[in-house]
């Protein structure tokens, strides 16, 4: 049987204890990578990763694409790979101190931040944050978030890192809370929460504001006849000047775990 994945043997094993989600579980990790050409409106395959991954995070730093952490078969991953489009090749970078999946990544001041996620521990949602310096090829711990969260989103606005929404098994609920990290102080502070708790949300910065797009949401009991939980059409916008979120035009299609980026 053909197998298109390879999992590193030295990662953190969960010994078949992964909690599968509804709707078919986690699926299979893959090494495959595709690249989209906007001018040609076409996708093409590029070099595959050395390690198959799912529930991982990606970010671009210094013209290279980093794939960080994730999950494969019965392993949480701490490994990191870096793709160079000039050579169409991946190379290993230093691994994180903590194997994690369902985390979020952002670039701030020339460094990568791996934020939250989940790992093998009993209360496995993480508040920890690691920062990668490409000059030293090393990760270091920075101040943890006040709130442990996974399946959240992060974005950088005005030189600060925002962690938005997600899920916490510590409180067993979707999160509306939002926290902001100041690298100059190595400290987090709470800012205004989302109007709607969202897990699997995506966030992007545009025009000096943050946009929280879609995600999976829970509805109030009185709305049970419509839908108890599911993907959201709604979009919220955060203004740091007023420290407030407001609803903007919803998407035509409800989406959970979408991708949101600027081109």
CA distances (Å), 112 to each of 70, 154, 200, 245, in order? Answer: 16, 12, 21, 26
pTM: 0.87
Q: Which domains does the chain have, with CATH numbers?
A: 1-19+29-142 (2.120.10.80), 147-263 (2.120.10.80)
Q: Where does residue 103 rank: exposed (0-12), middle (13-18), buried (19+ CB within 10 A)?
A: buried
Backbone torsions φ then ψ of 223, nearest 5 degrees: -100, 15
- Per-residue confidence (pLDDT) for residue 1, from 0 to 100: 28
Q: pLDDT tens-digit profile of 10-58?
A: 443 332 222 222 222 346 789 999 999 999 999 999 999 999 999 999 9
44 - beta bridge partners?
35
224-233: list long-range contacts, CB under 8 Å, 24+ apart: 230/254, 230/256, 231/255, 231/256, 232/196, 232/198, 232/256
In the block, tokens 């709305």 appear at 223
Q: Minimal CA–CA distance to 232: which of 263, 205, 194, 177?
A: 194
Q: pLDDT tens-digit profile of 83-132?
A: 999 999 999 999 999 999 999 999 999 999 999 999 986 668 999 999 99
């Amino acid at each position: 049987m053909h197998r298109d994945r390879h999992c590193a043997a030295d990662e953190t094993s969960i010994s078949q204890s992964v909690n599968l989600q509804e709707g078919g579980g986690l699926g299979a990790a893959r090494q495959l990578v595709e690249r989209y050409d906007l001018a040609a409106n076409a996708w093409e395959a590029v070099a595959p990763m050395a390690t198959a991954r799912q529930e991982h995070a990606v970010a671009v730093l210094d013209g290279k694409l980093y794939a960080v952490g994730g999950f494969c078969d019965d392993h949480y991953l701490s490994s990191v790979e870096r793709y160079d489009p000039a050579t169409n090749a991946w190379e290993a970078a230093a691994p994180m101190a903590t194997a994690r999946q369902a985390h979020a990544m952002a670039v701030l001041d020339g460094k990568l931040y791996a934020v939250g996620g989940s790992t093998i521990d009993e209360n496995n949602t993480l508040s920890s944050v690691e920062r990668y310096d490409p000059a030293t090829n090393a990760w270091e711990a920075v101040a943890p978030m006040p709130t442990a969260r996974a399946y959240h989103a992060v974005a950088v606005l005005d030189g600060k890192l925002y962690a938005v929404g997600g899920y916490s098994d510590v409180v067993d609920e979707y999160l509306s809370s939002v926290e902001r990290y100041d690298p100059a102080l190595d400290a987090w502070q709470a800012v205004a929460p989302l109007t709607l708790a969202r897990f699997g949300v995506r966030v992007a910065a545009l025009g000096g504001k943050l946009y929280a797009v879609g995600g999976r949401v829970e509805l109030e009991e009185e709305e049970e006849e419509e839908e108890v939980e599911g993907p959201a059409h709604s979009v919220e916008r955060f203004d740091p000047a007023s420290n407030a979120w407001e609803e903007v035009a919803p998407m035509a299609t409800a989406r959970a775990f979408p991708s949101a980026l600027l081109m």
